[in-house]
Amino acid sequence: MTWTTIRENALLSLTSLDRAGEIRYDSRQHALVLIDPTTEEEEVLTMNLLSSGYVAEPGEVFVKDWTEHSGLAAALVAARVANHVESLRVGPHGGTAHRLQILDETKCVDDFPGVSTTGRDPVFEEQLAAASKRVAYLDQH
């Protein structure tokens, strides 16, 4: 895998915890990892949904929104690592996964005129608002 660092000091504010570290992206594998600044352990942040019939487009990744990754998609958007494209129901239990477009340091949601921020999953919107507030609070303290 060819990993590119896209954020050196990212703060991800998930539903139940905050995580900090370096975020790396592999465009070939459509994968993101978070590198712990203390232990340098890698945590895979993304998942493959090919078995559910979904293929990530170039520059896209899929992120699950259950168990330890609840709120991760919103945290990545709040940290300006990615832009939300769509929410999907996957697997036998209909868990929520999110398709995200990876952003580089020079781009933001306004740079993607074809990406709509209306009509998104209301749960995702609540998670995004909460993550944005927590990140703003932590930045001030």
Mean pLDDT, rounded, of the chain: 86
pLDDT of residue 109: 46
- Asked whether residue 116 carries a pLDDT value surpassing 90, the answer given is no
More confident residue, 72 or 1: 72
Domain with 79 in it: 4-140
Q: How many domains is the chain partitioned into structurally?
A: 1
CA distance 92 to 115: 29
**Mean per-residue pLDDT, 88-99:** 93
pLDDT of residue 37: 94
- Asked whether residue 111 carries a pLDDT value surpassing 70, the answer given is no
Beta carbons of 13 and 78 less than 8 angstroms apart? yes
- Asked whether residue 123 carries a pLDDT value surpassing 70, the answer given is yes
**Which residues, at least 6 apart from 42, have a Cβ–Cβ distance to it below 8 Å?**
33, 34, 35, 36
pLDDT of residue 23: 97
Any bridge partners for residue 98, and if so which? 63, 87
pLDDT of residue 122: 79
pLDDT tier, 35 (very low <50, low <70, confident <90, very high otherwise): very high
**Mean per-residue pLDDT, 38-45:** 96
Give residue 38's Cα distance to chain centre.
22
- Asked whether residue 95 carries a pLDDT value surpassing 50, the answer given is yes
